Amino acid sequence: MQPAIPTAPLFSRLANASWGLSRRYRRFVVVAMLAMLHVAAFSGATDVWARSLMLAHLGLLLLWQPFLHGDRRVSPAQALVLGAATVAVMLWLDWWLLALWVVVLAGLVGGKVYQQQARWQRRSYLVMLVYLLALLAVVILPEIAPRREISPEIRDAAQYGLPLLFVLIALFPAEEEAPDAAQIIDFFYSIFLMLVLVVVILGSFTLMTLGRTGYLEALTYTVLMIGGTVLLVGLAWNPRTGFAGMNVFFSRYLFSIGLPPERWLHFLAELSAIEVRPERFLAEAVAGLLRLPWVSGVAWRAAGEAGATGERTVHEVEFDNSELSLTIFSRHRVSPALHWHLHLLGQLLGEFYVAKLREQKLRQASYLQAVYETGARLTHDIKNLLQSLNVLCSVAARDEGRDSPQLQALVRRQLPAITQRLAETLEKLQRPQDAAEKYVAARDWWEGLVRQYRGEGVEFEARALRDGVQLPQALLSSVADNLLRNAIAKRAADGATRIRVTLEGESGIELRVRDTGRAVPAEMAGDLLRAPVSSLAGLGIGLYQSAKQAKAAGYVLALESNRDGEVCFALREQASGR
């Protein structure tokens, strides 16, 4: 906190007490402030008592002023400004200085009119503005005009009529304000109103001097001309006919200084489509920033690395997000519009860079998911192959003759198929994402499946299987092995269960595996083929992986019927076909 002058504690105590009172009765402070100004103006700017009243007016203004709370301590700089204002009032107060002060006060009050949301507060400030304009036009300006032509009757009417506005302000309903409510002033409207008043004053005096007209006539003409000009500018700024006004061109000029953000966004979009790696994308984007005429250098820090290119200057704009820290150096002084532009460019670059990082993580996650799904699917393929090898081993163990013709025929029939499937499994494991589906003749695949499960008590039937029909070998083999092994395991647990496999190829490939065992439990049937389910014999994801593999190949695996004695799984092509 800045040090205070010795009188500051006394002023703070008085202001604090007055501020607590004025929160509820601020309108009375306003009335007293305007009353002091009224008496000082009608007494005359050169009158000694008028200068004393103006000092009291300034004191009341400090209690009402909408810049700071009244309980704030006065800093040395503020005390210096107050002292200068006091000296100016005491030594140099005249009609010109009084006119300037009323113009400033009118601009201050006018800025509050546009910001007040409370209805009665806004009306109170509007009445204050009307009083200040009337005091300026009737009392103060005639004293400094080239010719004083205001009648005594009008002056007397203003002297005794204008105080009625004080009564109106005092009678307005009080609207409680929050203790910490911010006092906001629209400086644009305040300065605009002050400039308009200055133009009215100087324009009236100029018209009186050049046109040899009276004060009221010159003031009326000037007000009408300025009012018409403001009206035309307002209509041109925001026309009501549906056309774009001057505000669009002003905004375009303000927010366009050589390279609109749309062009930079288009450049980043093209670069994002071409460059995949985030580090290369960042390097190319930084190089693109250097091609702008008002950018001299760029420094960045991302992913534990840092770099800089171009020339550093004292004019810099910084941007930071979770992944990128960027500093853009400008060749020119950073104006508000240029600062906004540079920060927007950095924000766009940061968002695209974060998107590239997310895209890279998504690619890695997709690859890992593909490896996981392929490994899970191939685990079941290897499990089925192991079961086939176990069948061969069990048959060989039961056969008493080493050179039995049946054993030799079984080995010649099964070993080539097992070798081929092992080779395919290894190939899929090496290329989890690039493995393309291989199509084979449906009749050849069917004959291989029949040979594979010959002797395991499975019935096979092919219907309308025409020559030349092709089917995806890996998909049909994986689905058939999973369904048949599950059915054979169920038969081993339940006893006499009939297993029947049918393949139809008349209107599209349809593979069905039926068994006469028990139905799938209802609590398991809901998640079957949609998510992994609990399994005592494995991981419980075989049918889930088969369903996903079928969907990727354009097929649908479904539980067609589920009741005791009739359980059927069906694999068929989707409506779109292959």
Give the model confidence (pLDDT) of 75-124 as tens digits: 677 678 777 877 777 777 888 888 998 998 998 888 777 665 567 778 88
Give the model confidence (pLDDT) of 186-244 as tens digits: 777 888 889 999 999 999 999 998 888 888 889 999 999 998 988 888 888 777 665 66
Classify residue 571: in a domain, yes or no. Answer: yes
Give the model confidence (pLDDT) of 547-562 as tens digits: 888 888 889 998 889 8
Element (H, E) at 324: strand 324-330
Half-sphere exposure of 384 (CA within 13 A, CB side): 28
The whole model's pTM is what?
Answer: 0.48
CA dist list (Å): 74 to 85, 100, 179, 466: 15, 25, 20, 101
Looking at the 3D structure of the chain, how many domains does it have? 3
Amino acid at 577: G
Q: Are residues 446 and 572 in the same domain?
A: yes
Name, in order, each residue with C-beta under 8 angstroms of 239's C-beta and a sequence gap of 6 or more.
Answer: 245
Q: Are residues 467 and 557 in the same domain?
A: yes
Per-residue confidence band for 392, with pLDDT thresholds at 50, 70 and 90: low
Q: Are residues 273 and 360 in the same domain?
A: yes
Classify residue 353: in a domain, yes or no. Answer: yes
Q: Which two tokens stand for residue 102?
A: 């009323």
| Residue in the block written with tokens 């018209």 | 207
β 499-504/458-463 pair status:
parallel
Q: Are 214 and 62 in contact (CB under 8 A)?
A: no
Q: Which of the listed residues 335, 364, 393 is the one where a domain comes to its end?
A: 364
Q: Which of the listed residues 93, 127, 149 is the one where a domain comes to its end?
A: 93
Give the model confidence (pLDDT) of 239-271 as tens digits: 766 566 676 666 665 555 555 566 777 888 888
- CA separation for the pair 478, 380 (Å, rounded): 8
| Residue in the block written with tokens 């800089």 | 308
- CA separation for the pair 262, 260 (Å, rounded): 5
* Nearest Cα to Cα of residue 473 among 428, 441, 505, 434: 441
CA dist list (Å): 99 to 82, 139, 197, 201, 255: 19, 10, 10, 10, 38
Classify residue 151: in a domain, yes or no. Answer: no
Give the model confidence (pLDDT) of 119-160 as tens digits: 777 888 889 999 999 999 999 999 888 877 788 888 889 889
- CA separation for the pair 307, 311 (Å, rounded): 13
Is pLDDT at 10 greater than 90 in this prediction?
no
Q: Are residues 546 and 442 in the same domain?
A: yes
Q: Which of the listed residues 47, 62, 93 is the one where a domain comes to its end?
A: 93
Classify residue 502: in a domain, yes or no. Answer: yes
DSSP β-bridge partners for residue 316? 329
- CA separation for the pair 326, 304 (Å, rounded): 13
Classify residue 380: in a domain, yes or no. Answer: no
Classify residue 537: in a domain, yes or no. Answer: yes
CA angle 40/41/45 to nearest 5° reads 80
For residue 534, what pLDDT is reported? 65
List, as own/partner pairs, every contact residues 202-205 make where C-beta atoms lie below 8 angstroms and the sequence separation is at least 24, other chains included: 204/141, 204/145, 205/145, 205/146
Per-residue confidence band for 501, with pLDDT thresholds at 50, 70 and 90: very high
Number of CB atoms found within 10 A of residue 128's CB = 25
Classify residue 192: in a domain, yes or no. Answer: no
From 198-202, 430-434, 525-529, the region with the lowest mean pLDDT: 430-434
Q: Are residues 488 and 577 in the same domain?
A: yes
DSSP β-bridge partners for residue 317? 328
Q: Are residues 355 and 478 in the same domain?
A: no
Q: Are residues 462 and 354 in the same domain?
A: no
Number of CB atoms found within 10 A of residue 364's CB = 10
526: domain CATH number is 3.30.565.10
Phi-psi region of 174 (alpha: psi -120 to 50; beta: other; left: phi over 0): beta
Q: Where are the alpha helices (DSSP H) in 399-472?
A: 405-430, 442-452
Q: Domain range for residue 477? A: 436-578
Q: Are residues 446 and 571 in the same domain?
A: yes
Classify residue 459: in a domain, yes or no. Answer: yes
Q: Are residues 330 and 451 in the same domain?
A: no
For residue 568, what pLDDT is reported? 93
Q: Are residues 578 and 441 in the same domain?
A: yes
- CA separation for the pair 39, 50 (Å, rounded): 7
Half-sphere exposure of 487 (CA within 13 A, CB side): 26
Q: Are residues 348 and 450 in the same domain?
A: no
